[in-house]
């Protein structure tokens, strides 16, 4: 049976036994909760009330970036390379100081809107109702090889930020993982592939991205062969590609990272 609940009730009872410092569902029915139980699926009915279609499980991960290291020896951090990278990042940020900042908001609740939450309880996908004006807000990737106008774009519940300058892109925030089999070019996805948030930054197919796990400073190159909505992430790593960052794959794994490239 479908269960109709208020966001206030969700806030009060959702995460019994979970870490108290997490910021969970909003206390207003006018705002979509940014955090629910892991795997929750909800939908807004004709009266714009939140209906739980699939009840999730409690989130027991102590940190959103709590990755498990692989059994292999952790890569030795190349301090010289890290220094050069940091200097490059600072140049990007210095140029961005003179550029506009855009806050990308989540959609407002609308009848028929479905929200799917990931293994950590953060928003994974918005499924928009078809056949009405609201469907125009559904995810639509930019043409490949393009990106939004220069500026800094912030969004999500995990300090996600994509900075675009005259010749560079820097994505910072949450890195997630996905298990799709086919990418944006009917390609078979494989280890080392990644997807960007295509409505903000959609690099050319097979663009090589420099990326770093900011939790352990492990650097890796990944190849952009897909794109996605990523409402609360800056980069989606294909499945076992997380091993390149010295992490052990699990479906709910995410970590703090950054990627960058020049165009």
144 and 134 share a domain?
A: no
- Domain encompassing residue 38: 1-60+106-138
118 and 207 share a domain?
A: no
pLDDT, one tens digit per residue, over 186-217 is: 999 999 999 999 999 999 999 999 999 999 99
183 and 94 share a domain?
A: yes
Task: Choose among 235, 220, 232: nearest CA to 170.
Answer: 235
187 and 217 share a domain?
A: yes
52 and 148 share a domain?
A: no
pLDDT, one tens digit per residue, over 6-19 is: 443 343 333 333 33
Total number of domains in the chain: 2
Average pLDDT over residues 176-184: 98
Average pLDDT over residues 238-260: 97
Distance from C-alpha of 180 to C-alpha of 150, rounded to nearest angstrom: 30
Taking 80 as the threshold, does the pLDDT of residue 63 lie above it?
A: no
110 and 163 share a domain?
A: no
185 and 56 share a domain?
A: no
Confidence band for 76, pLDDT divided at 50, 70 and 90: low
Element (H, E) at 199: none
- CB-count exposure of residue 220 (10 Å: 0-12, 13-18, 19+): buried
Angle at 85 between CA 83 and CA 86, to 5 degrees: 65
Maximum alpha-carbon separation in the chain: 59
Q: Are 205 and 238 a contacting pair, CB within 8 Å?
A: no
The upper half-sphere exposure of residue 119, i.e. CA atoms within 13 Å in the direction of its Cβ, equals 14
What residue has token string 């939450």? 117
Q: Are 210 and 261 a contacting pair, CB within 8 Å?
A: yes
Average pLDDT over residues 91-113: 97
Is 128 among the domain residues? yes
């Amino acid at each position: 049976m479908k269960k109709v609940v208020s966001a206030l009730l969700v806030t009060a009872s959702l995460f019994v036994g979970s870490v108290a410092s997490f910021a969970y569902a909003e206390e207003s029915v006018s705002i979509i909760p940014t955090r629910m139980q892991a795997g929750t699926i909800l939908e807004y009915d004709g009266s714009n009330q939140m209906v739980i279609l699939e009840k999730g499980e409690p989130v027991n991960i102590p940190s959103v970036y709590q990755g498990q290291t692989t059994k292999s020896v952790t890569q030795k951090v190349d301090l010289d390379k890290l220094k050069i990278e940091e200097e490059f990042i600072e140049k990007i940020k210095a140029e961005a100081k003179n550029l506009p900042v855009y806050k990308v908001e989540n959609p407002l609740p609308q009848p028929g809107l479905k929200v799917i939450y990931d293994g950590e309880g953060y928003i994974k996908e918005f499924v928009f109702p078809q056949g009405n004006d609201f469907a125009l807000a559904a995810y639509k990737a930019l043409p490949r090889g393009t990106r939004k106008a220069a500026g800094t774009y912030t969004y999500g519940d995990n300090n996600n930020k994509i900075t675009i300058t005259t010749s560079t892109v820097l994505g910072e925030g949450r890195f997630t993982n996905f298990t799709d089999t086919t990418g944006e070019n009917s390609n078979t996805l494989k280890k080392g592939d990644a997807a960007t948030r295509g409505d903000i930054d959609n690099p050319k197919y097979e663009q090589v991205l420099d990326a770093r796990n900011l939790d352990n400073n492990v650097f890796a190159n990944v190849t952009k062969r897909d794109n996605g909505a990523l409402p609360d992430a800056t980069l989606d790593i294909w499945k076992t590609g997380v091993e390149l960052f010295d992490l052990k794959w699990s479906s709910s794994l995410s970590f703090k990272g950054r990627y960058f490239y020049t165009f």
